[in-house]
Structure 1
Amino acid sequence: MQIIQHSEDLATATGTMRNYIYRPASEQRYPAIVFYSEIFQHTAPIARSAAIMASHGFVVIVPEVFHELNPIGTVLGYDDEGKDKGNNDKWQKPLTSYDSDLDAIIEHCKAVPYCTGAVGAMGVCLGGHLAYRAAINPAVASAYCLYATDIHSDTLPASDADQSFNRMADIQGEVYFVWGKQDPHVPAEGRLKIYQQCVASGLNYQWQEVNAVHAFMRDEGERYDGALALQIYQQAVQFFQRTLLS
């Protein structure tokens, strides 16, 4: 399936947010996936991931997660400078601001002629957390969360009641977690804490742990596992076909 790509600037409660949209080159309507990036924003690997998912019949929307803190179009490098800037941005932005960003995206999906109105979320690293966080919104039917950081540690800016870990019982849709067993950012004790909360909260979830390090989906650098990434893309497509097309 061939796709097209364009951008849309949306008004949010905290300012203008650029969104990069990948969608089938067709006049049909398709379900949307909000694809949350790492701290580096809309990098080339994120763009390629979004394109892969879009080519399976989805409108994939990649928001600039730190739009309040950077000029529109900012992309951080996969180096120490980019990592430090991205982490500083992550620690400055309240979790509730991501919620209002999502509200703007959902309204956009309702208004444009190329979306069915069904919405899911997917993300990597910080984006895995934000995909999980998105599922708290009842308009989001499902979330596919790859090595989601900071859920277990409650380290992102929010009140105790608003920490994502403590909001799990509010999720009505289905969540699919994928973790790397060798990921130091979400160690075994952190994964166990989240798993126990899944059970205790009654969440509709799937759980998968793989032999991989952090950022194994990123097709730049030595962490990339292409064979595993291909498997994960296939699982994600099947997951969203089931949860967004039914």
Structure 2
Amino acid sequence: MLITKTYYDIPTKLDPNGRPIRIFVIAPNVPAYPNAKFPGVVCFSEIYQVTGPVERFAGQIASHGYVVACPSIYHEFEGPEALPYDTEGTDKGNKYKIEKELAAYDEDATLAIDLLCSLKNCNGRIAGLSPLSTYRTYSLTTCAATGMCLGGHLAFRAAFDPRVRASFCWFATDIHSATLGKGKNDNSLVRVRNGDLKGKGELVMVFGKQDTHVPREGRDLIRKTLEDANVTATFLEVQAQHAFIRDEESKGRWDAALTRSLVGVMMEVFERTVGRDMGERVDDGTKIEHVC
């Protein structure tokens, strides 16, 4: 399936400089069906913003029939351009990662989901309100999230949003150490322990066993916390290093075959959870409806 790329600049409330966030949207292009609609996926980037590898990764998802929104996460500090994969870019990305407010990360995710809700080529089963949308009522929310490295953690946090039915998190950093955001004191695992993911969507965590960013003790902590909280989750540990799905500047860690296999797993999860209209979701006999 062919794809197209565009972007939207969305106003934010928490940016101290009042700058908008740029959200790139990569979507299927089917000229013979101009009114075709597709489910939505938010794709969070690593610390370098929306680089070539991130865009190509999002393009793979879009070509399977999804509208993919890629937010530029460092709009408080930089323009929407990607940071380079070099020492300066890495230092900037790591610096911004712990200077940005945790609430601002969550606002970015909300705005990306809201934007998907407003797009005419999204299937309308994503409930939400954005400055571009009108009030509508739908009986089911279906949106998915994914991301790599920092983006894996952001996809993890996106799962707290009831509109997100599946999050596929690639080698998510800082969850085990609770060091995301300003003050290096995030509450991701605390919220899991408090039950904020129970009864929500499906979560998939993928880690490389040779990943020095998330050691075995950290992976064990994440797994145990999810299991103790009865979260619907799949935990995959593979023979790989950090950033093994990055097809550029991966420092010799890119594993194309393993990436291809795991992308297949991700697409199965997305197809099963958001790729079909399953009707109203029922929990304990109660119909859940969302209004936007």
Aligned match for 1:211, one of 239, 256, 260? 239
For 1:132 and 1:69, how far apart are their aligned partners in 2? 23
Percent of aligned pairs with the same amino acid: 40
Letter in 1 for 2:215: P
CA contact (8 A) 2:179 2:185 kept: no
TM-score by length of 1: 0.95
Q: Can you list the C-alpha shifts for 1:8-42, whole angstroms capped at 9, x where unaligned? A: 11112223010111110133111111000000001
The answer for the alignment partner of 2:288 in structure 1 is none
For 1:75 and 1:159, how far apart are their aligned partners in 2? 25
Provide the secondary structure at the position in 2 that maps to 1:115.
coil
The answer for the alignment partner of 1:50 in structure 2 is 58
Aligned match for 1:18, one of 16, 22, 38? 22
Deviation of 1:162 after TM superposition, in Å, equals 5.2
Give unmatched runs, 5+ long, in structure 1. Answer: none
Is structure 2 residue 21 aligned with structure 1 residue 4? no
The answer for the alignment partner of 2:87 in structure 1 is 80
Provide the secondary structure at the position in 1 that maps to 2:274.
helix
The answer for the alignment partner of 2:266 in structure 1 is 236
Q: Can you list the C-alpha shifts for 1:35-78, whole angstroms capped at 9, x where unaligned? A: 0000000111111101111000001111001111112x221111
For 2:182 and 2:233, how far apart are their aligned partners in 1? 24
Give unmatched runs, 5+ long, in structure 2. Answer: 127-141, 277-292
Provide the secondary structure at the position in 2 that maps to 1:12.
coil
Is structure 2 residue 45 aligned with structure 1 residue 41? no
Q: In terms of mean alpha carbon deviation, does 33-42 or 107-116 score higher?
A: 107-116
Query: What pairs with 1:36-185 in structure 2 (closer than 5 Å)?
Result: 36-71=44-79, 73-116=80-123, 117=126, 118-157=142-181, 163-168=187-192, 169-171=195-197, 172-185=200-213
Runs ≥4 residues deviating over 3 A: 158-162
Q: Compare the two structures and name the one with the higher strand fraction.
A: 1
Provide the secondary structure at the position in 1 that maps to 2:11.
strand
The answer for the alignment partner of 1:32 in structure 2 is 40
For 2:184 and 2:152, how far apart are their aligned partners in 1? 20
**How many residues end up aligned between the 2 structures?**
245
Q: Can you list the C-alpha shifts for 1:201-235, whole angstroms capped at 9, x where unaligned? A: 11110111000000000001311000011111111
Letter in 1 for 2:29: A
Q: Structure 1 159/40 Cα, relative in aligned 2: closer, same or farther at 3 Å?
A: closer
TM-score by length of 2: 0.81
Letter in 1 for 2:271: Q
For 1:196 and 1:2, how far apart are their aligned partners in 2? 41
CA contact (8 A) 1:96 1:158 kept: no
For the pair shown, the structure with the greater C-alpha radius of gyration is 2
Q: In terms of mean alpha carbon deviation, does 83-92 or 17-26 score higher?
A: 17-26
For 2:176 and 2:233, how far apart are their aligned partners in 1? 16
Deviation of 1:158 after TM superposition, in Å, equals 6.2
